[in-house]
Structure formats: C-alpha cells, structure tokens
Amino acid sequence: MHPPASSRRPTLPAAPLPLLLLSLAAAPAWAQTSASTGALPAAAAASAAAAAAAPAQQVEITGTRGSDTEQRRQATAAKIVIGREEIERFGDATVGEVLKRLPGVTMPGAPGRGGGPRMRGLGGAYTQLLIDGQRVPPGFSLESLTPEQIERIEILRAPTAETGARAIGGTIDIITREGFRRRVNDLRLAVSQDAGRRSGQVGWTRNDSIDELTYTVSASAFNGRRGSADATLTTETDLASGQRLSEQLEHSSDLSRRQGLNLSSRLQWRLGPSGALTLMPVLFHSRREGRENLDLQQALGATPALYDHAEADRDGRYTLGRLNLQWRQTLAEGWRVELNGGTHAARGRSSSLRQEFDAGHALLRSVEDRSRSNDRSALLNSKLSKLLEGDHSLVAGVEFEQLRRSETRVTAQDNSDPLADFDGDLQASSRRLALYAQDEWSVNPNWAAHAGLRWEEIRTRGDAAVGDVRPDNRSRVLTPLLHAVWKPDPKARDQIRMSLTRSYKAPTLQNLVARPQLSSRWPSSGPNTATHPDRAGNPELRPELATGIDLAFERYLAQGGVLSANLFVRRLRDTIRSTTTLESVGWSPVPRWVSRPRNLGRATTQGLELEAKFRLDQLVDGAPPVELRNNLSLFRSRVDEVPGPDNRLDEQPVVVLNLGADYRLRGTPLTLGGSLHLTPGYRTQVSDVQAREAGRKRQFDVYALWVFDPALQLRLLANNAVPADYRSLASVDQGLVRTQATTLASTDVSWALRLEFKL
C-alpha cells in the first residue's frame, strides 16, 4: 500500500481544456460552414458506402417529433435529448455506460464499478430518475435496463411543474421503446470478458403494427461474471507526536456473478382519429451471487488482529413487475385529457455469511445477515392540456401515489441476535399527492416563457415500532418555477436560457427508519472503528430545500451541432448528510461509532458546464469528418456548518471532463471511435472530525464497428482500455488519535464482441 497522498486541490491537465475552449471560441466559423454534423457514425455506417461520399443528413424518424437537437432547441425549459443513434453509438451493455458520457453526469466509485448516475456531481438522492415519466421504484437498479429497451433519454437541468421538483441536481428521464416509431426486428448477441471472466448477453426488439394496434416488444437476458481485488490499509496515528499506533493491511478478492431477464412491451390502440389507449407491462428479474476472500496482516498494534483470514458468501434476488395504462383523448375546442394509472410489485431477497478464521483455520466468528423485502405501489395521474394560438399551451394535473414496503431482517453473530430488542419485521408506507399547473408560450419572436407552480405533500409512516420510535414524517413543499428563452435574432440560431426554480429532496424511507445495521467487521460485543461504523436512520429528518438560478448560452450549428455554456447556482437549506459519531447504543455494552443522516443547515453549490458537439471539417476546411463530443463541468460547493477547507457537498468532484470522437474510414465499412472520462482526485470535509478523499478516475473506452451490410454488423469494444488503480480514503479524528483507512482498488479492461442483426 502506498501512503495517503497529501491533500491538494486537483488541477485539470493542460491539454484537454484549451481544446474545449478553442471549440467554443471558434463557434462563429462553425456556424458559417455548410457541412453537416449529421447522423452519428455508427448509424451512418449502416447505410454503407453511399454515406461516405455525401454529408450525413439529419434523419426525421417520425412525422411529429423532430431531431434530438431540434427538440432541445425548441424546448422552453433546458433539456438535452439523447436518441437512438447516440444510445447505439458504443454498443454499451448497460444504461449506466451510456449515461457516464453525457454532459454533467457522473458515476461514483472506480471506473466500471460505480453506482447510480448523479447530475452535477451531487449524491444520488439529488438526481430524479424517471422511467417513462415515473420515478424509479425502490431497489431498482438501472443495470437491469438494457440500451435496446430505450427510445431516448431526456436530461433536464432544472425542474418543471410537470416532471416534478424532487430534482435539486436535475432529472434523467428514460423513455422506453415506442411502437409507432418504425418497423424494427433486431437481434443482438454479445460476449465479453472482464478480468478473465466471460459474460454473455442476448437482446431482441420488435416494433410493428396490426390494424389499429402498434406494438413494441423488447427482451434481453444476460449472464455476467466479474472479478475484483483491493487492499485497505487502516492506521491509527497520534496527532500530537505523529507516532503510528496501529497498522493493519487487509487484502480482498471478489468473484461475482449476475444473471437477469428483462421483458418490456408497449401496446397502443388508436381510438378513432383523436384518441389512444396504451398498455405497458414490464418484468425484470435479476440474481447476484458472489464470494469474497480476505486476509488480514497486522504490522503494529497493542491488541491482536481480529482474524487471520475470512470468507464471505452472498446471494441476492430481485424481481419487479410493472403495469401501466395510459388513455389520451382530444376533446372539443382543442382540449386534451390524459389519464395514467399504474401499479408495481417488487420482491427482494438477500443473504450473506461471513466467517473469520485464525492462522490454523479454526473458526473464530461468524456473521449472518438475511433480509426479505416487498414493495407495492399504486399510481394515478390525470392531466388536462390545451394548445392555444401563437404557440401557447396550458397544462394542469394531479398526481397520487401510494407506496407500501415490508421488510424482514435477521442478523446473527455467532448464532445470537445482537438486535433482538429491535423489531425485525418492519412495515412502512409513503403517500404522495401533487397538484401542478404550468403555462408555456411564445411571447414574441424573441422571447418564450414557461411558468409553473407545483404543490406536493409526502407522508412517510412506519406501521411497526422500532424500539420506542415510530417514524411519521410529513413534508409539504410549494415550488414556483420560471423559465425563459431569449433569441437576440429570431433568424439566427443563438439563444440564452434563464431559470429561477425551487426544488427539494425528501428523506428516503431507509434514512427515516432507525433500525441499525451493524458493521460486519467488528463484533457488537465490543467497540468498532470510525472507518467501519454501524448505520442507522433518523426519524426526525426534514426535507432539503433549494432555490436555484440557471443561465445558459446555446449556439446551434446549421446542420445539427451544438455549443453551450451553462452556469448554475443552488442555495440549499436543511442539508442532509450522514455523519459518524460515537454513541451509547442499545445493541452493545460499549459505545459504538454510528453513521446517521442529519440536517446540517445551509449549503451552496455552483458550477459551469461547457459542451461542444460538432464535426471537425466544420472547423478546418478539408479535415476528415470526425465527430467530436466534448463536455467539461466545473463544480464548487460549501456546507456552512462544516469547517473548511474542502467543506463541499458529499461526493461532488471539482472537475469532470469527457472527450469523444468517431470516424468512419473513407471507402471502408469500418468506423472507429473512443471516449475519455477524467475526474481529478478531490477531498471532502464531511464534519469537523470526518473527511474523505476520492482518487483520480480515468476511463478510456474505444470501439470498432464493421458493417457487412445494412442488416448485419460486428462491433468490438474495450471499456477502461488503459486500466489504473483507484484510490479512496476515509479518516476520523477522535481526540488526539486519527483513524484512517486507505483503499486501493484494481481495475481491468472489459472486452466485448457484439453481433447485430436486422431480421
């Protein structure tokens, strides 16, 4: 293990920044050229050699919906639209791999090992995730959704009354495949290798129509294996003398397997000339299992190590069924009514067993944890809208949602339950009611405006007591929302966007329930360490409110490219953060370190997001038609209640850079492309005694696409082509002693080969 690096503010490498600024500075030259940025290389390659000689054309795939760039330009509220061409560009296996390259989107953790997507570098709960306009159910992982099932992805940097205000960081709305688009019958076969472990995936999508019925059916199955290894150095240091008091090095190797089946469909019946009925059933099932081997070496310490080596087995299953029904009808005088109803049921099961041994392989301790959960929901939305003269539209709606969750959890350490005084059977429910109205209109050729008002109430209750605490949390939020677009010259393609919004983050059910989850590393009969705390909820949490301002400049190039600069500021109140403190607890005879979410007062975050999508021959005459996609995000934040420096919001990096390029070799059916994601390391002061560091993250992905004919193509991918170890650090000060854990995780190249058929 290497010693922790010193705390320094990260700096961006010198080369990429001038490149992106040059792209923005050269905007007038690009706007005056007549060459097209056109369709994406992967899609253009499917048209064979004819597309190489002529500029790529912007393809209109429906009679009613414009191109992705045109939808973005025409929207009054700031929106980025990613369509099928962009989704298919790399041939990614998961939705997360698609999202990581988008402007302002970050993925936590090591390259290829991160969790859910975050916008503007903020934690997961700050980003609103939607599927077909509905919030993602609890426990659902976007890894269960394959790119083949997606029609488009819409990213909203500021909330609107219709999409919801629980979006301090922004909103990601994933729209599943729509049957009315065009006839499709695609089959995709893929094999991949990660750290020497092979995986397989098969996907099929069919779009067609029968009389008044149009339908989409999408199915995929996958079987993946993955290996990982890391090492964690845990030390205790006397701050006064600098003397090292203890030192332990733990090595871990993990082998996991993931299997899944996804089925989704959209059935739409036309009800005369002005109505439609849509049925959307969905089924997801996944299973995860893994085995971890650990060994512990203690070089220094007054007490002996807890164990010599350990084994941990885990198994988890998750099944989700969802059924949505939508009815749309155009009434007299241009009014349109839309009713949406839906229900979902999800069941999860997980178990883990950790066994620790001495050097002679005698069992010292066993820790077993089993849980079962059931989630059910019912949703009913109604919306009334009218399109008036002069591009003026009115929308009003009401939403009602009821969620119920039951969970059974059993924890055993050496065949005894340290949480016997806490109810292991938990029942909880959440009810949400929302009313909203918004008015969107073109004031004149120069100005367009969007005004909305949304009122939302969320009440979360626990039906079973946890000790003497029964969670009952109610939050009401009124959110005014204003957006405007100004076009200095209506005939040009430049525009300035302005937004003044209010948004919020509601406490999750997991954060409200106070039942503890014990650290598997340290027995409950004795003390634990601050770097391996127990975890518990806080029934007294209040919602986190934010007032935000967004200001953006956008230039749309004549044939589809876009240059933009977006500046944002958010002022937060009742900031929620998990902090670790030493507590006297009911599950141990000695004080234990416990991590709980708390409201910490006010905070501020601000940032600048730059984006440039264009073709190289628009900048340099005679240059090859290389598609370039660059975005750079700079973030800064401050939590008032936490002393600085580095008192930023949790897990928010300082800089995020994405560089991407694609080029189809002239006269050949071969397309080459690649992307680079770079996040310099940064430090976060979590509280006055707690800090975390995230190391530099660099991920380089490349692909090659060979088109045999429009109905058959072969794709080779290498994700994380230049692997590098990922470093993270956590430290807590207890008086004059600092406990610090530094983890170094290895990463590997992930190879994939995909064969794509159009039947």
Per-position DSSP letters for 35-55, written without gaps between them: ----S-HHHHHTTTTHHHHS-
Mean pLDDT value of segment 590-619: 92
Q: Is the pTM of this model over 0.85?
A: no
The whole-number pLDDT of residue 468 equals: 57
Q: What percent of the chain has pLDDT over 90?
A: 52
User: Which stretch of 39-43, 245-249, 315-319, 491-495 has the lowest confidence by average pLDDT?
Assistant: 39-43
What does the pLDDT look like over 21-79, one tens digit per residue? 334 333 333 333 333 333 333 333 333 333 333 333 333 333 345 688 888 888 888 88
CA distance readout (Å), 531 to 388, 537, 608: 60, 18, 34
Rg over CA atoms, the chain: 27
What does the pLDDT look like over 493-517, one tens digit per residue? 899 999 999 999 988 777 877 678 8
What does the pLDDT look like over 633-664, one tens digit per residue? 999 999 999 998 999 998 899 999 999 999 99
Q: What percent of the chain has pLDDT over 70?
A: 88
Q: How far apart are CA 402 and CA 433, in angstroms?
A: 9
The whole-number pLDDT of residue 633 equals: 94
Task: For strands 750-758 and 712-719, give the pairing.
Answer: antiparallel
Query: Would you place residue 83 in the very low, low, confident or very high pLDDT band (cuts 50, 70, 90)?
Result: confident
**8 Å CB contact between 622 and 637:** no
Number of other residues whose CB lies within 10 A of the CB of residue 334: 12
Q: Which residues pair with 73 in a beta bridge?
A: none
Is the confidence at residue 531, as pLDDT, over 70? yes
The whole-number pLDDT of residue 387 equals: 85
CATH T-level fold of 16-758:
Maltoporin; Chain A (2.40.170)
Mean pLDDT value of segment 86-94: 81
Alpha-carbon dihedral of residues 684, 686, 687, 688, nearest 10 degrees?
-20
Which of 729, 755, 754 lies closest to 740, judged by CA? 729
What does the pLDDT look like over 390-419, one tens digit per residue? 778 999 999 999 999 888 888 888 888 887
Mean pLDDT of the chain: 84
What is the 8-class DSSP label of residue 19? Answer: H
The whole-number pLDDT of residue 466 equals: 54
CB burial string 561-573: b at 16+ within 10 A, e below: bbbbbbebebebe
Q: How far apart are CA 662 and CA 701, in angstroms?
A: 12
* Position with higher pLDDT, 115 vs 215: 215
Is the confidence at residue 721, as pLDDT, over 70? yes
| Side chain identity at residue 160, one-letter code | T
Alpha-carbon dihedral of residues 703, 707, 710, 714, nearest 10 degrees?
-60
CA distance readout (Å), 351 to 177, 368, 533, 721: 35, 7, 20, 34
For 574-711, strand residue ranges (E) read 576-583, 592-599, 603-615, 627-639, 655-664, 670-679, 682-685, 690-694, 697-709
User: Which stretch of 160-164, 179-183, 735-739 has the lowest confidence by average pLDDT?
Assistant: 179-183
Instruction: Of 44-53, 189-198, 671-680, give the range with the top mean pLDDT.
Output: 671-680
Mean pLDDT value of segment 305-316: 94
Mean pLDDT value of segment 699-710: 93
Is the confidence at residue 110, as pLDDT, over 90? no
The whole-number pLDDT of residue 346 equals: 93
Domain ranges of the chain: 16-758
The whole-number pLDDT of residue 514 equals: 67
Task: For strands 592-599 and 534-535, give the pairing.
Answer: parallel
CA distance readout (Å), 164 to 134, 359, 445, 459: 10, 56, 29, 16
Q: Give me the phi and psi of 49, to 5 degrees please.
A: -70, -20
The whole-number pLDDT of residue 20 equals: 36
Mean pLDDT value of segment 682-703: 93
